[in-house]
Amino acid sequence: DVKVTQSSRYLVKRTGEKVFLECVQDMDHENMFWYRQDPGLGLRLIYFSYDVKMKEKGDIPEGYSVSREKKERFSLILESASTNQTSMYLCASSGLAGGRAKNIQYFGAGTRLSVL
């Protein structure tokens, strides 16, 4: 089974703090994604990466950055957390393993971040 692990289920941070959200997958997937989930808005893509050291902006990248130094790990960074970044953050991965399954994304359990 594919496993996508997010380092924290719940985080509470203060405005202005630098925040790191970590995500690790164990399926040797090429692609990794960070989403935020807010009520009524569904999932919105923040950043994604289709290879090590490669990153592309999603729909709402402002206020965020990412790092992918190793294939299995994709980090989301909030340089200076703000209250409007209080949300559920979901990491996902997908890959060519399994051929036609490449578009299936596998999700972590999520990190609920509160910025006070």
Partner 1 sequence: AQSVTQLGSHVSVSEGALVLLRCNYSSSVPPYLFWYVQYPNQGLQLLLKYTSAATLVKGINGFEAEFKKSETSFHLTKPSAHMSDAAEYFCAVSPRYNQGGKLIFGQGTELSVKP
Name the residues that contact partner 1, by CB under 8 A: 4, 9, 30-31, 33, 35, 40-43, 45, 48-50, 56, 90, 92, 94-95, 100, 102-110
Least distance between partner 1 and beta carbon 105 (Å): 6
18 or 50: CB nearest partner 1: 50
Question: CA 77, CA 65: separation in Å to the nearest integer?
Answer: 5
Tell me whether residue 26 or residue 56 sits nearer to partner 1 (CB atom). Answer: 56
CB atoms within 10 A of CB 6: 18
Q: Which amino acid is at 16?
A: G
Minimum distance of partner 1 from residue 57's CB (angstroms) = 12
What is the nearest approach in angstroms of partner 1 to the Cβ of residue 16?
28
Between 33 and 64, whose beta carbon lies closer to partner 1? 33
Residue with tokens 């729909």: 59
**CB 94, min distance to partner 1, A:** 4
Closest CA to 94 of 38, 9, 35: 35
Q: How many CB atoms lie within 10 A of CB 50?
A: 15
In the complex with partner 1, the residue whose CB is nearer, 22 or 30, is 30
d(CA 36, CA 59): 10
